[in-house]
Chain A
Amino acid sequence: MTTDPRRHTRQVALFRKLALAFAIFLVVVLIAWSDPQARFTSVLSELTEDAQNGIQITDPTLRGTQANGQAYTIRATAMRQTSRPAGTLEMDKPQFEFADPQGPLTARAQAGSLDQTSNQAVLRGAVEIRDAACNIIRAPVLTFNTKTGDFTAQGPVRMDGPSGTLRASALKSTAKIHVFSNAEMTLLPKEAR
């Protein structure tokens, strides 16, 4: 029995080549995974492929915590990642629910986007916010900060409440105060209440 003195050297060299190939494979997979335009087969049953918008998730639910420790939930009929800006999710029929000590605050719209980096959510189309005081705020576009709960609305803004109606050109709101610009408020007469 003669042993090949280079056998061990060859095995080591082969192992090195395999390790290098595996590393390259991993890098390629990571790059491909990070590319929203890349095509994947179904990863999970709830993920579907969308050639235009990348991966789409149906009926997703996202949960987070505001800076004050209160929880919020984001639901949508569909959610997908967009290429620009990075980390932004586009949503169909999004619904935000904020747990407020005075009662829940909900916001819904036809469409929306969520920038996960800046925690800014933009709601578009028939935006409607309902608070615990039975006020309903409507606006075409509304920007939400999911961390603070603050929001701003542009365009004709309308708030209907138990006391009457308020119309304005813009709204800036925090947890404590709604500030309407160029506003008109209608207080209903006694008989109409």
Chain B
Amino acid sequence: MGRRPHVLKGLAGVIGLIGFFSQLSLAQTPSVQFATAPDAPIYLQAEKISVVQHDNRTALEGKAVLRQGRLSLSANAMQVTFDPDTGATAQDIFATGAVVLVDAKGQISRAQQAHFRVQEEILLMRGDVVIENQQADSQFSSLTGAQLQVNMRTGQSQMLAAENTEGGGASGAPNPRIRIQLNP
């Protein structure tokens, strides 16, 4: 009977540790909210848009920009693929080279490439992903990782580390882990 307080103290300590590490885990992958507009039309702009006939794909070259609501995705080039059966429904939009995602809140995300799965409403950014948060009340100023996945329906996102840590980041630098720079 006399050992029960010690057991309770130990249990409380374990629970406290679990809570601490769970908070630490959350801090490593903070939930970044994007201002999306999933029901708005998608506008694509470029210096040159090539529609390949009977191939269900369209290529954008030169200052390619995608806008949906107040969300903007720019890149050196993009490619849109359509449903091969109907040719009407956009399925995938691939962006390559100097990809920049800017939302209405002024949150800027940079990557080397992006893949917008239009029907699934998922945007995946890959390659040295950096989110720069310019909001004064934000918890962090920058977030770095290998992949950023944005749910375009809810606006919620998830930063992921590189799956293969041996090769480092996409640029070759050892950057396997997610890095966060907190605001003081």
Query: How would residues 125 to 159 of chain A score, 1 for a CB under 8 Å from any chain B CB and 0 otherwise?
Result: 00000010100000000000000000000000001
Known: A184-B44, A186-B43, A187-B44. A166 touches B51 (CB 8 A): yes
The complex places the Cα of A177 from the Cα of B51 at a distance, in Å, of 6
Q: Enumerate B13-47 residues with CB–CB distance to A below 8 Å.
A: 38-47
A interface SS class: strand
Are A179's CB and B50's CB within 8 A? yes
In the complex, which residues of chain B have a beta carbon less than 8 angstroms from the beta carbon of A164? 41
Cβ-based interface call for B54 (8 A): yes
Chain A residue at minimum C-beta to C-beta distance from B40: A189
Q: Which residues of B contact A162 (CB under 8 A)?
A: 86-88
Q: Which residues of A contact B54 (CB under 8 A)?
A: 102, 133
Q: Are A189 and B88 in contact (CB under 8 A)?
A: no
Complex Cα distance A175/B53, Å?
Answer: 8
Query: Contact: B48 with A179, CB < 8 Å?
Result: yes
Roughly how many angstroms separate A190 CA and B68 CA in the complex, as a whole number?
13
Chain A's closest residue to B86 (CB) is: A162
A110: shortest Cβ distance to chain B, in Å? 26
- Of residues 155 through 193 on chain A, the ones whose CB sits less than 8 Å from some CB of chain B are 159, 161-164, 166, 168, 175-193
C-alpha gap A27/B79 in the complex (Å): 64
- Report the nearest A residue to B83, measured CB to CB: A163
Shortest Cβ-Cβ A-B pairs, 9 listed: A162-B88, A183-B49, A187-B42, A185-B44, A178-B51, A180-B49, A184-B45, A163-B88, A187-B90
- 20 new A-B pairs (CB below 8 Å) besides A178-B53, A186-B43? A102-B54, A133-B54, A162-B86, A163-B82, A164-B41, A175-B53, A176-B53, A180-B49, A180-B50, A180-B51, A181-B48, A184-B43, A184-B44, A185-B45, A187-B42, A187-B80, A187-B90, A188-B41, A189-B40, A190-B39
